[in-house]
Amino acid sequence: MSYVLHNRLGSGGFAIEAVLELADVPYRLELIESAPGSHMPEGAVAMNPWRQIPVLECPDGKVVTETAAIQFYLAEKHDSVRTGPNLFVDDSAAFYRWGVFLSVNVYEGFLRMVYPERYLGDGSADVSALRKAASARVGDAFKLIEDVLASHPYICGDRLSPVDIYCAMLFSWHRKRDELPLCTGLTERVARHPLVAPVWRRNFDHWLDRKWADADQT
Ligand SMILES: N[C@@H](CCC(=O)N[C@@H](CS)C(=O)NCC(=O)O)C(=O)O
C-alpha cells in the first residue's frame, strides 16, 4: 500500500505532491472537487475534522495533516526526502524553523485574506482592514525569508529542500513581489525544476497571475 494524498487542484497539497515526486516516494492522489479560495464542502475531508487539505494517509493507516508536519514526517520516514539526489536538508534547525514559520505566519496570513469572516466573530468588523493587515504581515514574513536567501540560495543551505517547495508555493500566491527578488528567484527555480514543473503547471497555471514554470514569463 502506498500513501494517499488528499488535495484539491491548485491548493496546499502541491507542497506535498512535489516532495513525493522529487523523492520518488509512491503515492496516489485523491482530488476533492472544490475551487481554490472556496470553503471546503461539508464531509469532503472526512479524515480531517478541521476540514482542510492537504491530508496524507500513510501506508500504516495513520493520518497526517498540516503541511509542515507532513513534510517533517516524510523527511523522517524517507532518506530521499532528507539526503536524496533531488532533495537535501543541509540544516535541520532551519528546516523545522522555517517550515513552522511559513505555516503560522504565511499560510495562516493567506487564510485571513481568503476567509476573513472566520476571524471576525460576529461579522461587524472591517473585512478590508483585516485583509490589508494580513497582506502586510505576509509581506513582512517574506522579507525575513529574503534575508535568509541572501546568505545561501536555498532556505536550508545550498540545496533544494522541502521547505523551499513550501515557500515557493506560498510566494506564488503573494501578489506584492516587487522588493523580493530572492524569493522570486527561488519560486522560479522550484517551478521550473523538471520534476516539479508538470505538477506546478497542473496545479497553478489555470488560476495564478503568472505561469511560473515557463522561463519566458516575468
Ligand atoms: N494549517 C494548514 C492550512 C491548510 C489550508 O488552509 N488549506 C486550504 C487550501 S490551500 C483549505 O483547505 N481551505 C479550505 C477551507 O479552509 O475551508 C496547513 O498548514 O496545511
Cell of 166: 513550501
DSSP-derived 3-state class of residue 207: coil
Judgement on whether residues 99 and 179 belong to the same structural domain of the protein? yes
Instruction: For CA atoms 99, 104, 110, 114, give the dihedral sign.
Output: positive
Judgement on whether residues 104 and 177 belong to the same structural domain of the protein? yes
Identify the helix (H) or strand (E) that includes residue 109: helix 108-114
- Going by their DSSP bridges, the two strands 27-31 and 3-7 should be labelled as parallel
Judgement on whether residues 44 and 112 belong to the same structural domain of the protein? no
Judgement on whether residues 181 and 98 belong to the same structural domain of the protein? yes
Looking at 82, 108, 124, the residue that finishes a domain is 82
Write down the pLDDT at residue 218. 59
* CATH at 172: 1.20.1050.10
Residue at 199 is within a domain: no
Are the beta carbons of 120 and 127 closer than 8 angstroms? yes
Mutating to test ligand 1, I would choose from 19, 34, 39, 53 the residue with most ligand atoms within 8 A of its C-beta, which is 53
Write down the pLDDT at residue 217. 65
Looking at 82, 102, 134, the residue that finishes a domain is 82
Residue at 206 is within a domain: no
Judgement on whether residues 102 and 178 belong to the same structural domain of the protein? yes
Residue at 210 is within a domain: no
Q: Rounded to an integer, what distance in angstroms lies between the CA atom of residue 134 and that of residue 183?
A: 19
Atom 2 (ligand 1) nearest CA: 66
Judgement on whether residues 14 and 78 belong to the same structural domain of the protein? yes
Strands ordered across the beta sheet of 27-31: 27-31, 3-7, 55-57, 63-65
Judgement on whether residues 99 and 165 belong to the same structural domain of the protein? yes
Q: Which atom of ligand 1 is nearest to the CA of 110?
A: 6
Write down the pLDDT at residue 157. 97
Ramachandran category for residue 157: left, alpha or beta (phi over 0 → left; psi -120 to 50 → alpha): left
Specify the number of domains making up the chain.
2
The amino acid that residue 37 corresponds to is G
Q: Which atom of ligand 1 is nearest to the CA of 66?
A: 20
Judgement on whether residues 25 and 48 belong to the same structural domain of the protein? yes
* Non-local CB neighbours of 200 within 8 Å, separated by 6+ positions: 14, 18, 190, 191, 212, 213
The pTM assigned to this predicted structure is 0.96
Judgement on whether residues 113 and 185 belong to the same structural domain of the protein? yes
Judgement on whether residues 62 and 126 belong to the same structural domain of the protein? no
Q: Which atom of ligand 1 is nearest to the CA of 111?
A: 6
Residues lining ligand 1, Cβ inside 6 A: 11-12, 39-40, 51-54, 66-67, 103, 107, 111
Q: In this predicted model, what pLDDT tens digit does every residue of 95-128 receive, in sequence order?
A: 999 999 999 999 999 999 999 988 987 777 789 9
Write down the pLDDT at residue 207. 94
Residue at 205 is within a domain: no
Judgement on whether residues 76 and 102 belong to the same structural domain of the protein? no
Q: How far is the CA of 216 from the centre of ligand 1 (A)?
A: 31
Its domain, for residue 63, covers 3-82
Residue at 22 is within a domain: yes
Q: What is the mean pLDDT of each run of 10 residues along the chain (218 residues)?
A: 94 98 98 87 82 95 97 98 97 98 98 92 82 96 98 98 98 95 98 98 96 84
* CATH at 58: 3.40.30.10
Q: In this predicted model, what pLDDT tens digit does every residue of 130-158 receive, in sequence order?
A: 999 999 999 999 999 999 999 999 999 99
Q: Of 166, 218, 139, nearest to 18 (Cα)? A: 166
Are the beta carbons of 189 and 80 closer than 8 angstroms? no
